[in-house]
Amino acid sequence: MTYCRYYAGGPQDPEGHGRNWNRTFKLVPERIRGGALLLHGLTDSPYSLRRIGEILHARGFYVLGLRLPAHGTAPSALTTVLWEDWVAASRIGARHVRHRIGTGSPFVIAGYSNGGALAVKYTLDAMSDPGLPPPDRLVLFSPEIGITPFASISNADRILSFLPYFKKFKWLSIEPEYDPYKYNSFPKNAGQQAQEITATLQDQVENRSETGRFAGFPPVLTFLSWIDSTVETSATIHRFYDRLENASSELVVFDVNRFDQLAPFLPSADDGPLKHLQARSDLPYRLTVITNAAPDSELAIMQTQAPHSRSIDSTPLSISWPPEVYSLAHVATPFPPDDPVYGGKANVNTRYRGLPLGRLQPHGETGLLTVSVGQLMRLRHNPFFAYMEERLLHEIDSLRVPIPGSNP
């Protein structure tokens, strides 16, 4: 298959694009002012946080984009991996970054999806283990604090998978592998490991909270889509953010497109739970919601409320919902619109010659394509990435890191 990622020399061959972003990468500034460990999501690769790493690197950060075990190779590697392997790798990565930047520089961990769960777990472990260098700040993108219970159901038949006849029982789905930086096929073991690490993480958070040992957790900035079919948004809010004890943390929620002409097509996107969240006056963190300026407008505004406050400040943004986009998506959050692979518009600064997966808009008869139409329709980039980048830079600069080119 020409467009298979394993077709040597083909357009989707990750080896043919200058650097294979399925591998661990390092970005080293001329003068190191801080360090960052990047932890990607399940079935992803270090490419998913490439742009985040470039932003941090431009601010003088030494960046380590870590490839987690069983990723960046073949989906079958996920049939035997354990979540403890990912935890062990994140510890190695954190120690490396801290050693590389020294003791006096700020250390940030950024995690996407399953990498977000790993970032939180590592931080909790570091609070009680002096051998683990604690981060000064966490930045999370669609963190996997909780997932749907499909994993336990889908793994019920794994006990038969060792028999040749039941070999395919190991897989939740087997798809063509046309994406150069992400697996399309999904082994059931991957879902099981995700469920186990989130269960362990939730127990750890609850235990620390109940015993009054959560106060030392560092500030967290999180970006998530209000509607997410991969992770439970409510788990991030109620099982993690509600337990925080520092007013420097912030949760940024990207609402769905509330344009009134779309409302009849989005009956499940009830805004009641989000309005209820904004009505609370006991939130121990800063809450920001990106939503429509008005029901008849696709312009975006930022609704922000301080910790322990019900007062909401609304600020117009110079961005709007693209006409064809009705919501953000789990797989879209960390990617800019001009990402050469997943972006919605061409990037004139790259020579990427593979399929522009974010711009594919196939039309034709149903049942003809070998690829899921749902996969192709799912939004793969964040139309509000510029806002997210601005917030990320503000967060980094608050660590009192001198900007390259300025007087230290």
Sequential pLDDT tens for the chain (408 residues): 678 999 888 989 998 878 899 999 999 999 999 999 999 999 999 999 999 999 999 999 999 999 999 999 999 999 999 999 999 999 999 999 999 999 989 999 999 999 999 999 999 999 999 999 999 999 999 999 998 665 444 555 555 455 454 455 688 888 889 999 999 999 999 999 999 999 999 999 999 998 888 888 999 999 999 999 899 999 999 999 999 988 899 999 999 999 988 888 887 778 889 999 999 999 999 999 999 999 999 999 999 999 999 999 999 999 999 988 999 999 999 999 999 999 988 776 777 888 888 888 787 887 788 777 777 788 999 999 999 999 999 999 988 655 554 444
At 208, the amino acid letter reads R
Dig out the tokens for 205 from the structure: 């958070």
Which residue in 371, 372, 376, 370 sits closest to 356, CA to CA? 376
Q: Which residue has the tokens 């620390």?
A: 208
- Distance CA(185)–CA(165), nearest Å, equals 20
Residue 238 CA to residue 7 CA, distance in Å, equals 45
Q: Is the pTM of this model over 0.75?
A: yes
Answer whether 70's CB lies under 8 Å from 150's CB: no
Quote the pLDDT of residue 150: 52
Angstrom distances, CA of residue 248 to CA of 218, 283, 285, 334: 9, 12, 7, 22
Q: How far apart are CA 117 and CA 202, in angstroms?
A: 10
303, β-bridge pairs: 289, 314
User: Could you give the CA distance from residue 123 to residue 27 in angstroms, rounded to a whole number?
Assistant: 23
pLDDT value at residue 362: 80
Helices 83-101 & 114-126 angle (0-180, nearest 10): 60
Helix (H) or strand (E) holding 69: none
Which domains, and CATH codes, for the chain? 21-148+194-355+381-397 (3.40.50.1820)
pLDDT of residue 354: 85
